Chains A and B, each alone.
Chain A
Amino acid sequence: MKYTDRRVSVPLCARSTTPGLVNKTGTWKFAEPHFVDLTSPCNQQCPAGEDITGYMYLVGQGKFEEAWNLIMEENPFPAIMGRVCFHTCEEQCNRNDHDESIAIHVVERFIGDYGLSKGLTVAPPEDEKDKKVAIVGAGPGGLSAAYQLRRMGYAVTIFDSNEKPGGMMRYGIPSYRLPKEILDAEIDRLSAMGVGFTMGVTAGKDISWDSLASEHDALFVAIGAWEEASLGIGGVDKGGVFNALAFLREINLGNTPEAGSKVVVIGGGNSAIDCARASRRLGAEVTIAYRRTEVEMPAHPEEVELAKEEGVQFLFLTAPKEIIGQRHIAGLTAEKMTLGEEDSSGRRRPVPTGEVFEIQCDGMIMAIGEGTKVEDLPSLISHKGGVVETDNMGHTAAPKFFAGGDIIDIPHTVTHAIGSGKRAAIAIDRFLEGEQCDEGSLDRFRWGEKGNVSLGRIKGTMLFPRRNPGSEVIGFKDMNTFYFDHRSRIRPQRIPLEERLQGFQEVIASPSKEEAVAEAQRCFICGSCTECGNCYIFCPECAIKSDPDGYGYIADMDYCKGCGICVYECPRGAMRMEVME
């Protein structure tokens, strides 16, 4: 028979007899994908509890005002933060394992400056509550608590013994790191919201604690650590010998302390660097003497680098022994140290060698740490070793007294103080609403297990929505970084050396919009769905669909066969396979 006379039973073109949807491949699976939204390590690390990945995403999209609002949920001072926070978040950044961490502080500074340049404000609360809160101490902790409580509708008054608010931000940090107009502008927003400031008043002295307590429904105490530590050596009372805080206060008041033309700064922390760099700006030759080596220095490495650039000399393994001179310092003797066993901080302890030598100088600044003065606080507030005892929400032992900032057991940084103020504000609100707020009750609103509480998450006002951000923190290995190119981080411009030493002009330049956006776009957005669409594209069963609730995608379990390709291809680790019961 001829070809043309024969027939076969198949159609002309291979074509399924039924729509593909008939085959419910979902019945094949024994594991199913979940969209999880894990916490990024930076968010967990941020002492202020900021949603860093959230605002990186928004800046990357050019949504600067939304990014500003997102920070303002947790922290009233993005422009200050971008300048003075020592950004330990960047040390945790997963991108460190890829190329270099995101310059988070640069992006934050951009957002803060954007808010200032656009005159963005936070509206006063719509509903005023009839409760009053006193904030004692106008430093970052107090301001943070005042800001959050005011937003909640409370009448808030801040009491502070200084002439102007800001605390250490004003009197401790030199303006080449934090220009005063930035500080003023960010604090002014609080006044505009109706926060009251009673300046030049010392609680317990000009106004009694009892009257403060009787006039307010709750009190937040954040009086800071202003007590100067002194070297236990001979001659500290001679002329030309300063304590760091006193020296920096003079500088920040615009005065010129007579610290000499050849200055030795004792210490290895950030205050020591501040004093040294400030002295350089006054025209002095400056040497920092530190008991251990550069490796053990607690100062931020970038600050050390800037100090070196500006001509600050370093004498390591050097401990002062005695100050020489008649009425005025003429030099000091010092002992050469060596490194011994590790101490409780994990750093190697300095051990004297017996080798003594002389250092010539006509000025000396002691920057060996600062202490608190908590003895004059109301007696019900318990303390131990100069530290007020609180739980992690800032409750003290005294009813309606809450505490934060440098007087409680947290690192002495601006950011930690802001974080403690926010936590206390939440606790005060709960207290005034008559709700329980004991240890752990807000843990589900923390970033990770160790991070701060997020107000945005408590209030559900996340501008970068996540489905169910868990306490789990995502690591580098949990992501598919194939999808990320390699690009170095932004290196912000610094003004030329000659200009720096002329005065107290800000050293680090602000990033351009393009630079900030490019840097934000380097961010992996670890652990969060950005709707990149990889799961949607890769699903062999077309089972990934748009989430009707607006959280990116969902998997249609009728057709998801549990192959796990979506999870593997998710660049951010925002998906997970779970074996079905």
Chain B
Amino acid sequence: MRKVITGNVAVAYGAMLSDVQVVAAYPITPQTTIIEELATMQAEGLVDFDYIRVESEHSAMAACIGAEMGGARAFTATCGQGLFLMHEMLHYAAGARTPVVLANVNRAAAAPWSIWSDQTDSVSQRETGWIQLYCEGNQEVLDTTIMAFKIAERLRLPAMVVLDAFFLSHTSEPVDIPEKERVRDFLPPIDPGENWLDPDNPRTFGGITMNDAYMEFRWQIQRDMEKAKGIITEVHEDFAQAFGRTYRQVEEYRAQDTELVLVVSGTVASTARDAVDYLREKGKGVGMVKLKTLRPFPREEVIETLKGKKKVAVIDRNFSPGATGVWAQEVRSALYDLPEAQRPLIYGYVAGIGGRDISVKTIEEIYTKTLEDAEPDDVDMWVGVNYV
């Protein structure tokens, strides 16, 4: 079935088709319609889950962790401030190895208040042990939500589906909605293994762990994040086989034959495809690389894709005050391992903060600056700021 739906409705379809068993969420713009849509689907009998009303996002995540410990497939959604409030529980979900799936609608941080899009909320959760999957269109949102459950449950690590506020959450476009039976074939019921609360066999979970064992538990998260790179690829391949749509952690678009490459994520990737086509038509040599996963960071694939390029322009719709845009940090860190001859110059651009549009023109401006500057004039260049 194909339907014209918003990104938020696509998330709800993803969760509904994945037969979520527990939903606990707290409303916040622009996430709210995800949960509204899920509630409608539940009322229409399309899915049967327990909805837990909570007083905060912190509690929403705590409830999801509890539900997973009880052996259920749990889902929540939030954005911006809500994700910040959830932060403590995000660490816990990973440490407890509960494969919760969370849809985060990228919303800029207050103060000042903003409901519009940037990735600062999700990139701020890099160190929590969550898999992060960024999307550029509503189809990808729906598909990624389904895949997120499979990835998370195979690894027993929580996964975050990330979509831009409004540019996806409130934009309607045609989406192919798979049959539930086919999704069930793709995504088996959750298997909690031994990691669940069994009233007949009471155990203490996550209790205080001394310094002779804590590090081992944490090391396993690191190991499994490394494993995740392979498993995400496997799930992408399984999905392509089942549904005919292909996703990659690192995707090239007309980038193989160019010396200058844009590295982007989220909806900017979508607009950048048009920008690349437009520039190519004008005879400019430019390609694009879209990064889908921030965690685990696909270091090897990034190195393989970008080695030998002359210039790499990373566009970050986020920033880390005192450092640079987060994707630029990650790409720099990965490419440093290359021998100098193969190591491109990294141009870091921060753009589109707080929902400011990143148009084809903005991308052209970035391309032109990267092309013309022999080397970056700063570690981090903010695009579109109205200086006086």
In the complex, identify which listed stretch (B212-220, B323-331, B365-373) lies at the interface while the others stay far away: B212-220
CB < 8 Å neighbour of B206 from A9, A13, A20? A13
Interface 0/1 of A58-76, CB less than 8 Å to B: 0000000000000000000
Residues of A contacting B339 in the complex (Cβ-Cβ under 8 angstroms): none
Task: Check if A16 sits within 8 Å of B204, measured CB to CB.
Answer: yes
Q: Residues of A contacting B223 with CB < 8 Å?
A: 3-4, 6
> Are B203 and A20 in touch, CB under 8 angstroms?
yes
Residues of A within 8 A of B203 (CB): 15-16, 18-20
Given known pairs A16-B204, A19-B202, the reply for A10 and B156 (CB within 8 Å) is no
Name A's interface SS: loop
Whether B227 pairs with A15 at a CB distance below 8 angstroms is no
Determine whether B321 belongs to the interface, using a CB cutoff of 8 Å to chain A: no
In angstroms, Cα B226 to Cα A2, docked, is 9
Which residues of chain A are within 8 angstroms of B226 by Cβ–Cβ distance? 2-4
Q: Contact check: which of A3, A11, A16 meets B222 at CB < 8 Å? A: A3
Q: List the A side residues contacting B206 at CB < 8 Å.
A: 13-15
Q: Is the beta-carbon distance between B204 and A12 smaller than 8 angstroms?
A: no
Question: Residues 3-33 of chain A: 1 if any B CB is under 8 Å from the residue's CB, otherwise 0?
Answer: 1101011111111101111000000000000
| Smallest beta-carbon distance A17→chain B, Å | 8
**In the bound complex, CA of A15 to CA of B193 (Å):** 13
In the assembled complex, the Cα of A13 lies from the Cα of B204 at a distance in Å of: 11
Interface footprint category on A? 10 to 19
Q: Assess whether B156 is in contact with A16, with CB atoms less than 8 Å apart.
A: no
| Shortest distance between the CB of B191 and any CB in chain A (Å) | 13
Task: Pick the residue among B194, B207, B227 that contacts A11 (CB under 8 A).
Answer: B194
User: With a CB–CB cut-off of 8 A, which chain B residues contact A18?
Assistant: 203
A10–B205 touching, CB < 8 Å: no
Asked if B201 CB lies within 8 Å of chain A CBs, one says yes
Check A21–B202 contact: CB distance below 8 A: yes
- Kindly provide the distance from the CB of A356 to the nearest chain B CB, expressed in whole angstroms: 78
Whether A13 contacts B222 by the Cβ 8 Å rule is no
Which residue of A3, A12, A14 is within 8 Å of B209 (Cβ)? A14
Any A CB within 8 A of the CB of B96:
yes
CA A4 – CA B203 in complex, angstroms? 28
Size of the chain B interface, CB-CB below 8 angstroms: 24
Residues of B within 8 Å of A14, CB to CB, are 95, 205-207, 209, 213, 217
- CB contact between A10 and one of B204, B216, B227 (< 8 Å): that residue: B216
Give every chain A residue within 8 A of B213 (Cβ-Cβ): 10, 14
Q: How far is the CA of A8 from the CA of B97 in the complex (A)?
A: 16
Across-interface contacts of B194 in A (CB, < 8 A): 11, 15
Chain B CB within 10 A, most for which of A4, A10, A20: A10
Question: How far apart are the CA atoms of A9 and B213 in the complex, in Å?
Answer: 9
Chain A proximity of B53: nearest CB distance (Å): 22
- Which of B202, B216, B222 is close to A9, meaning CB atoms less than 8 Å apart? B216
Whether the Cβ atoms of B195 and A15 lie closer than 8 Å is: yes
Residues on the A chain within 8 Å of B96, using CB: 13
Contact B207 A4 (CB under 8 A): no
Q: Separation in Å of the A13 CB from the closest CB of chain B?
A: 4
- Alpha-carbon separation in the docked complex, A11 to B193 (Å): 11
State whether A15 touches B202 (Cβ < 8 A).
no
Q: Are A13 and B205 in contact (CB under 8 A)?
A: yes
For A13, the chain B residues whose CB sits under 8 A away are: 95-97, 156, 195, 205-206, 217
- Give Cα distance in the complex from A14 to B209, angstroms: 8
Cα separation A541 to B293 with both chains bound (whole Å): 44
A539–B209 Cα distance when bound, in Å, is 22
Q: Given A4-B226, A15-B195, A10 and B202 touching (CB < 8 A)?
A: no
The answer for the CA separation of A79 and B220 in the assembled complex, in Å, is 74
C-alpha gap A8/B156 in the complex (Å)? 17
CA distance A8 to B206 in the complex (A): 17
Quick check: A12 and B97 within 8 Å, CB to CB?
Answer: yes
Q: Note all chain A residues with C-beta closer than 8 A to B95.
A: 13-14
A4/B227 in contact, CB under 8 A: yes
B227 adjacent to A12 (CB under 8 Å): no
A13 to B193, CA, bound (A): 11
Interface centre among B193, B220, B222 (most CB of A within 10 A): B220
Cα distance A50–B220 in the bound complex, in angstroms:
67
In the complex, how many angstroms separate the beta carbon of B155 from the nearest chain A beta carbon?
A: 10
Please tell me if the beta carbons of A20 and B205 are within 8 angstroms of each other in the complex.
no
A578 smallest CB distance to B (angstroms): 30
Report chain A residues within 8 Å CB of B195.
12-13, 15
Contacting residue for B207 out of A3, A10, A12, A16, CB 8 A: A16
Does A8 lie within 8 Å of B204, measured CB to CB? no
Least distance between B198 CB and chain A CB atoms (Å): 10
Cβ–Cβ < 8 Å partners of B216 in chain A = 8-10
Q: What is the bound-complex CA distance between A8 and B214, given in angstroms? A: 11
A19 contact set on B, CB distance < 8 A: 201-203
Chain A CB count within 10 A is highest, among B95, B194, B204, B227, for B204
Instruction: Tell me the smallest distance from the CB of A402 to a CB of chain B, in Å.
Output: 63
Distance to closest chain A CB from B197 (angstroms):
10
Distance from B205 Cβ to chain A, minimum over Cβ atoms (Å): 5
Closest beta carbon of chain A to B215's beta carbon, Å: 9
B194 to chain A, nearest CB (A): 7
Specify the chain B residue showing the minimal Cβ separation from A9: B216
Which residue among B193, B213, B223 has the maximum number of chain A CB atoms within 10 Å of its CB?
A: B223
When C-beta atoms are compared, the residue in chain B nearest to A20 turns out to be: B204
Contact flags B70-109 to A (C-beta < 8 A → 1, else 0): 0000000000000000000000000111000000000000
Pick the contact of A8 from B201, B205, B209, B219 — CB < 8 Å?
Answer: B219
**Shortest beta-carbon distance from A279 to chain B in Å:** 64
A211 to chain B, nearest CB (A): 77
Identify the closest chain A residue to B226 (Cβ). A3
The distance from the CB of B221 to the nearest CB of chain A, in whole angstroms, is 9
| Shortest distance between the CB of B361 and any CB in chain A (Å) | 44
Residues in B whose Cβ lies below 8 Å from that of A4: 223, 226-227
Bound form: Cα–Cα A8–B222 in Å: 12
Is A12's CB under 8 angstroms from B156's CB?
yes
**Would you give the shortest CB distance from B71 to chain A, in whole angstroms?**
13
Q: How far is the CA of A18 from the CA of B201 in the complex (A)?
A: 9
Complex formed: what's the CA distance from A536 to B202 in Å? 19
Q: How far is the CA of A4 from the CA of B229 in the complex (A)?
A: 11
7 contacts between A and B (CB under 8 A): A4-B223, A10-B217, A12-B193, A13-B205, A14-B95, A16-B205, A16-B207
With contacts A8-B219, A14-B205, A15-B206 known, what are 18 further pairs, Cβ within 8 A? A3-B223, A4-B227, A6-B223, A8-B220, A10-B213, A10-B216, A10-B217, A12-B193, A12-B220, A13-B96, A13-B206, A14-B206, A14-B207, A15-B204, A19-B201, A19-B203, A20-B204, A21-B202
Q: Chain A residues in contact with chain B, CB under 8 A?
A: 2-4, 6, 8-16, 18-21
Q: Residues on B close to A: CB < 8 A?
A: 95-97, 156, 193-195, 201-207, 209, 213, 216-217, 219-220, 222-223, 226-227
Q: Which 6 A-B pairs have the closest CB atoms?
A: A16-B204, A8-B216, A13-B97, A19-B202, A3-B226, A3-B223
